[in-house]
Amino acid sequence: MTRIVELAGLALVFATGAFAQQADQPLLSGEKAFGDWKADRPGVRRLLKPQDMPKPDVAESASNGGGVTDRPEGARPKLPPGFSAELVASGIDSPRVVRVAPNGDLFVADSRANQVRVYRLAQGSAKPAETSIFAKGLTRPYGIAFYPPGDKPQWVYVANSNSVVRFPYREGDLEASAKPETIVAKVPASHHWTRDIAFSPDGKTLYLSVGSGSNIAEDMGAKPKGGVEAWAKSQPLGAAWGAEEGRADVLAFDPDGKNRKVVATGLRNCSGMTVQPATGALWCVVNERDELGDDVPFEYATAVKEGAFYGWPWYYIGDNEDPRHEGARPDLAGKVTLPDVLIQAHSAPLNIAFYDGGNFPADYGFPAEYRGDAFVTLHGSWNRNVRTGYKVVRLRFKDGKPTGEYDDFATGFVIADDALWGRPVGVAVAKDGALILTEDGNGTIWRITYGDGRS
């Protein structure tokens, strides 16, 4: 109990002068953009470029995870001026991805409990008017998508760790009306198990992300059967083999699960996907590899280019060769696609949502300058001497294209070097313009509004 009181006191200290919020602060670039939880505050803006990345250090690898404690009384996300956060729900086992149904219901993957929850909020409020378990008996559910896209979906798709299933859906359903139908079976499920899904705007393509089975393909084997040259000729650019075959990929299917194809390779763990409303482009946020030092390599968010290879396991952030695979794939040098937005190493980006903002009520919608930007949740580091991540950042866009800059938006989840209460995971935009955030440190869901949008 004493420990919780001490942490609550620390939270109050950080909420005052030392963390005075500024709407806009000078852009931090190069090494100055490297930070940790003590330097995070809403409005801090960063820009990282490939040349800012230090050289890898295989010998130096920190282990600094854990430290989750009870949420101190009154603790909530720290936000820019004019924004407020209200608690929707707490005590959830493992709230991960959150997606918003066309009628406004919040569908939340409760992964450890193997179920999908539904929250129907009272109008303009964070208070749930109704809650329900939509489906149970799943296998570590994560991604959720409604099909067909638009106002009248007929199915709810759920990505288990080892499959994609769907349930019949009618507007307002709080419980599934039938057993799940398997659409994609035999998805490899070990190690990186978070499978996200999204549909193309025309509804013709189902996208599925499948993360790697390891950190750097330790068990893949040095060469595929028949040799690297033969493999490279018969497979997509940069495709892994052995235990990693079919992993670190973004895949595409017809909505019925047929006609599988590889969209892109070398994305170590694309743990969150969405479609950009302005362009229809598919976006991924990617957890890069560990054990190369505190600031190597950068994580990233990127529009997924068809046929692209993003480097894993042989390269990272362009033609930077992983020293643990030195000389293994010289044929891939110069063929690695650079991602669009670089994020500090070990931040662990898990989800992404674009703030479209076209028809939101004035009382709840964010300021106009947020329209077209994206929000990314950073789950937080374990492989760094001083913690980084544990926040929500805003990716800046101009005319539908990323500038490469990102701002701290929601911070305050870490309260001491060895203690934190929140780990952001899911993010979505509600029908009224509020931002919905899940975190799985204390199992909470938050509704973030601007101005008078408080209940």
| Residues β-bridged to residue 436 | 428, 447
Burial pattern 101-112, b for ≥16 Cβ within 10 A else e, equals beeebbbbbbbe
> Does the domain spanning 2-450 belong to CATH 2.120.10.30?
yes
pLDDT score, position 453: 54
pLDDT score, position 24: 59
pLDDT over threshold 70, residue 191? yes
Contacts of 209 by beta carbon, 8 Å cutoff, 6+ apart = 143, 194, 195, 196, 197, 249, 250, 251, 267, 270, 271, 272, 273, 284
DSSP state of 322: -
Q: At 361, phi and psi to the nearest 5?
A: -60, 145
Residue 444 and residue 71 in contact, taking contact as beta carbons nearer than 8 Å: yes
Beta-strand (E) ranges in 161-296?
A: 164-168, 181-184, 197-199, 206-210, 249-253, 261-265, 270-275, 282-286
Where does the pLDDT of residue 10 fall: very low under 50, low under 70, confident under 90, or very high at 90 and above? very low
pLDDT tens-digit series, residues 278-295: 999 999 999 999 999 999
pLDDT over threshold 50, residue 19? no
Alpha carbon distance 242, 220 (integer Å): 5
Alpha carbon distance 331, 217 (integer Å): 18
Where does the pLDDT of residue 428 fall: very low under 50, low under 70, confident under 90, or very high at 90 and above? very high
The strands making up 249-253's β-sheet, listed across from edge to edge, are 197-199, 206-210, 249-253, 261-265
Residue that wins the pLDDT comparison between 248 and 454? 248
Which residue type does 152 have? K
Contacts of 157 by beta carbon, 8 Å cutoff, 6+ apart = 143, 144, 145, 146, 147, 164, 165, 166, 183, 197, 206
pLDDT over threshold 70, residue 197? yes
The DSSP code sequence of 74-85 is: T---B--TTEEE
pLDDT score, position 171: 97
pLDDT tens-digit series, residues 253-264: 999 999 999 999
Sign (positive or negative) of CA dihedral 410, 423, 442, 413: negative
Q: Which long-range contacts (CB under 8 A, 24 or more apart) does 416-419 make?
A: 416/7, 416/10, 417/386, 417/387, 418/67, 419/7, 419/67, 419/68, 419/69
pLDDT score, position 181: 99
pLDDT over threshold 70, residue 2? no
pLDDT score, position 58: 78
Contacts of 308 by beta carbon, 8 Å cutoff, 6+ apart = 237, 264, 265, 266, 337
DSSP state of 313: T
pLDDT tens-digit series, residues 33-73: 999 999 999 999 999 999 999 999 876 777 877 789 999 99
pLDDT over threshold 80, residue 455? no
Where does the pLDDT of residue 12 fall: very low under 50, low under 70, confident under 90, or very high at 90 and above? very low
Instruction: Give the mean pLDDT of 217-225.
Output: 94
pLDDT score, position 25: 77
Lowest mean pLDDT among 61-70, 147-156, 316-325: 61-70
Q: What is the pTM of this model?
A: 0.94
The strands making up 270-275's β-sheet, listed across from edge to edge, are 270-275, 282-286, 299-303, 341-343
Residue 370 and residue 356 in contact, taking contact as beta carbons nearer than 8 Å: no
Domain coordinates in residue numbering, the chain: 2-450
Where does the pLDDT of residue 362 fall: very low under 50, low under 70, confident under 90, or very high at 90 and above? low
Helix, coil or strand: residue 332: helix
Return the structure tokens found at 298.
């950068």
